[in-house]
């Protein structure tokens, strides 16, 4: 799985710094759902100074987590709902713990919010979803300092593949999440994710279909672009398939398309009947770029290897077309 602590720290820290550059830092709240950690994440994550007023943690103790997750490896729907239920923002979005939010998203969302609603879009009445781009494993495995990973993403973002379900004929909301967000009133009206979906997958699809009964389902990338960057942590598809061990495959939620209710869960959705207060980060911040110079050779090598990968992709994609063209050329002679 790679350096999961680095990925989470990088995701939080760059979200804060990018929001600051976009002029949105004073409106930003980040809540980390810490599910079952023996040592709370708030005590170990090293975050930038801006986190002091903006980042909070909801920690679900191990004894509660074990009881609530039943036979699931990780009941993401309950963990997410516990954070959503305690959020105070007007718009609440969910991202994965290893996805970086870019500056352009914050800037574009701020502009849309100022003129909302328009003929094209009503933020308050919409399910908003954006796919993510994938930062190649060759780079993310290096655990680069903030300045270097930020520089690399800005330089190379257009080269990153967008992970979209549309490539295999599905709706955009089947895709891996960049961000899924909507107004807090919608979250509370619908009671969040269906907490029966304690296994892997389909949770966003379920919400899209449920919310589609009353609200607009919006492919939000048409308005804000794809400014979300997933720090890849599997080197190949075999490693991804066996991520829980070859003998212990992850159970999956079964997609359901008919008979869905707009409201799921009871009034205590998000573990609201448990005393799970929001806490701030307590770990001491470090000088993030002090050792950055030591990573430069690795970064250069990673960029070279990435260039080789991209060149190979182009060649593999071009050869069949060249064969067809050459065949047509011969047939005309």
The reported pLDDT for the residue numbered 244 is 46
How many CB atoms are located within 10 Å of the residue 279 CB?
17
Give the pLDDT confidence score for residue 288 in this predicted structure: 54
Using CB atoms within 10 Å of the CB of residue 252, give its burial: 0 to 12 exposed, 13 to 18 middle, 19+ buried.
exposed
For range 177-191, the mean pLDDT: 98
Nearest partner of 28 among 18, 38, 37, 36, judged by Cα: 18
Write down the pTM of the prediction: 0.87
Q: How far apart, in Å, are the Cα atoms of 25 and each of 30, 54, 75, 108?
A: 11, 8, 30, 14
Mean pLDDT on 14-40: 97
Q: What is the pLDDT of residue 61?
A: 98
- pLDDT category at 22 given cuts 50, 70, 90 is very high
Which residues in 194-323 belong to E strands, given as ranges?
Answer: 216-219, 228-231, 278-280
- Reported for 142-145, long-range contacts at CB under 8 A and 24+ positions apart, including other chains, are 142/295, 142/298, 142/299, 142/302, 143/2, 143/3, 143/6, 144/292, 144/295, 144/298, 144/299, 145/288, 145/289, 145/291, 145/292, 145/295
Amino acid 301: pLDDT: 72
**Distance between CA atoms of residues 272 and 6, nearest Å:** 30
In this structure, of 13-22, 68-77, 146-155, 306-315, the range with the lowest mean pLDDT score is 306-315
CB count in 10 Å sphere of residue 200: 17
Residue 322: pLDDT over 90: no
pLDDT band at 328 (very low <50, low <70, confident <90, very high): low
Q: How confident is the model at residue 242 (pLDDT cuts 50, 70, 90)?
A: very low
Looking at residue 315, its pLDDT comes to 77
- Three-state DSSP class for 218? strand
Interval 68-120: pLDDT, tens: 999 999 999 999 999 999 999 999 999 999 999 999 999 999 999 999 999 99
Average pLDDT over residues 262-270: 97
Tell me the Cα Rg of the chain.
21
pLDDT recorded at residue 320:
66
Q: What are the backbone dihedrals phi and psi of residue 133, each rounded to the nearest 5 degrees, phi first?
A: -95, 155
Q: How far is Cα 2 from Cα 97, in angstroms, rounded to an integer? A: 13
In this prediction, residue 282 has a pLDDT band, given cuts at 50, 70 and 90, of confident
Q: What percent of the chain has pLDDT over 70?
A: 85
How confident is residue 243, by pLDDT bands cut at 50, 70 and 90?
Answer: very low
Q: Is the pLDDT of residue 2 over 90?
A: no
Residue 159 — very low, low, confident or very high, per pLDDT cuts 50/70/90? Answer: confident
pLDDT of residue 295: 65
With 80 as the cut, is the pLDDT of residue 316 above it? no
What average pLDDT is seen over the chain? 89
Three-state SS sequence of 8-73: HHHHHHHHHHHHHHCCCHHHCCEEEEEECCCCCHHHCCCCCCCHHHHEEEEEECHHHHHHHHCCCC
Give me the mean pLDDT over the 284-309 stretch.
66
């Amino acid at each position: 799985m790679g350096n999961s602590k680095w990925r989470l720290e990088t995701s939080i820290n760059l979200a804060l710094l990018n929001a600051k550059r976009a002029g949105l830092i004073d409106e930003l709240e980040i809540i980390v759902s810490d599910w079952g950690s023996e040592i709370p994440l708030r005590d170990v994550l090293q975050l930038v100074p801006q986190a002091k007023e903006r980042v909070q943690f909801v920690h679900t103790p191990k004894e509660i987590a074990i009881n609530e997750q039943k036979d699931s490896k990780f009941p993401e729907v309950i963990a997410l709902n516990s954070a959503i239920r305690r959020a105070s923002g007007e718009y609440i979005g969910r991202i994965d713990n290893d996805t970086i939010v870019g500056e352009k998203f914050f800037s574009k969302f701020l502009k849309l919010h100022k003129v909302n609603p328009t003929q094209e879009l009503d933020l308050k009445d919409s399910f908003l979803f954006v796919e993510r781009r994938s930062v190649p494993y060759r780079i993310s495995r290096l655990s680069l300092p903030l300045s270097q990973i930020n520089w690399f993403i800005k330089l190379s973002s257009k080269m990153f593949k967008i992970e979209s379900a549309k490539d295999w004929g599905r709706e955009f909301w089947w895709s891996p999440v960049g961000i899924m967000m909507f107004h807090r009133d919608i979250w509370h009206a619908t009671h969040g994710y269906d907490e029966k979906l304690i296994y892997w997958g389909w949770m966003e699809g379920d919400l899209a279909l449920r919310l589609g009964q009353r609200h607009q389902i919006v492919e939000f990338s048409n308005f804000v672009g794809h400014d979300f960057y997933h720090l890849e942590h599997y080197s190949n598809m075999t490693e991804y398939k066996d991520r829980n061990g070859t003998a212990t495959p992850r159970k999956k939620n079964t997609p359901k398309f008919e008979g869905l209710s707009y409201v799921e869960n009871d009034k205590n959705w998000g573990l609201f009947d448990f005393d799970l207060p929001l806490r701030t980060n307590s770990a001491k911040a470090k000088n993030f770029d002090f050792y950055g110079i030591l990573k430069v050779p690795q970064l250069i090598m990673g960029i070279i290897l990435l260039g080789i990968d991209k060149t190979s992709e182009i060649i593999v994609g071009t050869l069949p077309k060249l064969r067809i063209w050459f065949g047509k050329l011969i047939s005309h002679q």
